[in-house]
Structure 1
Amino acid sequence: MNFVAMDFETANQKASSACSLALALVENSRIVDTFYTLINPQTHFNSRNIAIHHINPRMVQTAPTFDLVWPHIKALFNEDHLVVAHNAPFDNRVLKETLAFYQLQAAPYWSLDTVRTSRKFYPEFPNHKLNTVAQALKIKLEHHHHALDDTLACAEILLTTQAQVGTEALKKMTRIIQ
């Protein structure tokens, strides 16, 4: 299976306030590359968000803004790539709103949500939060709410699910994001 796993963290409740991003490139069902960056969101940080992901304004002072990050990752977001996230509606919204903030555009791309796949294929789990699903599937998740660790766990969740239920069952759950 080939896909890109993605996770954003945000500075506040606004979807356009991305302050970190991680991607994991999966080819032939193996993680072959990763990308992680802090992002200067050019907005205020909410103390609740800081308490969750531990990223603060000082940490992103010299980080690139998203418009400088986008040219390096843009090629992964098109109809030829499946983009996977745990709670994909959130991450897709962050991408869309952050792109809009910088007046950038993305091509349509395929998306798959591992919250939805875990609910469908593992209804017996007590909940379908990333850390719960990772633990139940015996997948390492070192620092929950660190974008790279969350991205790697998401990728492994999908690979484990694929091994158990097959690719065709997962393909039926993809959606196009415009």
Structure 2
Amino acid sequence: MNFIAMDFETANAKRASACSLALTIVNNDQIVDEFYSLINPQDEFNWRNIQVHGIHEQDVADAPTFPELWAHIGNLFGPQQLVVAHNASFDNSVLRKSLEHYQLPAINYLTLDTVKTSRQLLPGYENYKLNTVCRELDIELEHHHNALDDCQACANILIYQSQHFGFEPLKPFIKPF
């Protein structure tokens, strides 16, 4: 499979408050490239979010804003590009709301949620949180809620599913965004 795994962390409950982003690029079921950046959300940090991901306001003070970052990575997204996330509704909404917030053009791509594929293809787990699926599949997840580690883990979940179940059972999960 060829796809991009994506993971955002946010500064607060607002979806347009991205404070980090990771992308893992997969070609032929192999991770071939990765990208990680902190993002200055130009917004306040909520203590709950800090408790989850450990990113503080001072950590992003010199980081690029979302529009500055988008200028470098936006070309990776396109109508035929498959973008994968674990709980994709969250990550897709962070991207959509960030684009809207900064009045950047909307984009279209294909998306797949590894929570949904895992529920279907890997029944019987206690839950389908990223760390649980990784533990069950013996996939390394060093720092849960670090965007790059989460993104790599998501990519490895889909690679596992592709290699063990083939592409056909995954096709119904691919949706336009």
Q: Cα RMSD between the aligned structures? A: 0.7
For residue 105 of structure 1, report the CA deviation from its aligned partner: 1.7
- CA–CA distance in 1 between the matches of 2:163 and 2:77? 25
Q: How does 1:13-52 map to 2 (within 5 A)?
A: 13-52=13-52
For residue 106 of structure 1, report the CA deviation from its aligned partner: 3.5
Q: How does 1:79-118 map to 2 (within 5 A)?
A: 79-118=79-118
- CA–CA distance in 2 between the matches of 1:133 and 1:77? 27
For residue 75 of structure 1, report the CA deviation from its aligned partner: 1.5
For residue 164 of structure 1, report the CA deviation from its aligned partner: 1.3
Contact 1:78 1:106 (8 Å CA) reproduced: no
For residue 121 of structure 1, report the CA deviation from its aligned partner: 0.8
Residue-pair matches, total:
177
| Residues 117-174 of structure 1, C-alpha deviations (whole Å, 9 max, x = no match) | 0111112111000000001000000000000000000000000011111111111111
Gaps of 5+ in 2: none
Contact 1:3 1:26 (8 Å CA) reproduced: yes
Match of 2:11 in 1: 11
- CA–CA distance in 1 between the matches of 2:100 and 2:90? 15
Q: State, as a whole percentage, how many aligned pairs show the same letter.
A: 56
- CA–CA distance in 1 between the matches of 2:149 and 2:107? 27
- CA–CA distance in 2 between the matches of 1:60 and 1:122? 38
For residue 107 of structure 1, report the CA deviation from its aligned partner: 2.4
Q: Does 1:68 align with 2:68?
A: yes
| Residues 85-123 of structure 1, C-alpha deviations (whole Å, 9 max, x = no match) | 000000000000011111012321000000000111112
Match of 1:129 in 2: 129
Q: Helix, strand or coil for the counterpart of 1:23?
A: strand
- CA–CA distance in 2 between the matches of 1:107 and 1:89? 15
Q: Helix, strand or coil for the counterpart of 2:92?
A: helix
- CA–CA distance in 2 between the matches of 1:34 and 1:105? 24
Match of 2:158 in 1: 158
* TM-score w.r.t. length of structure 2: 0.98
- CA–CA distance in 2 between the matches of 1:11 and 1:123? 33
**Which amino acid is the alignment partner of residue 135 of structure 2?**
Q
Q: Does 1:141 align with 2:141?
A: yes
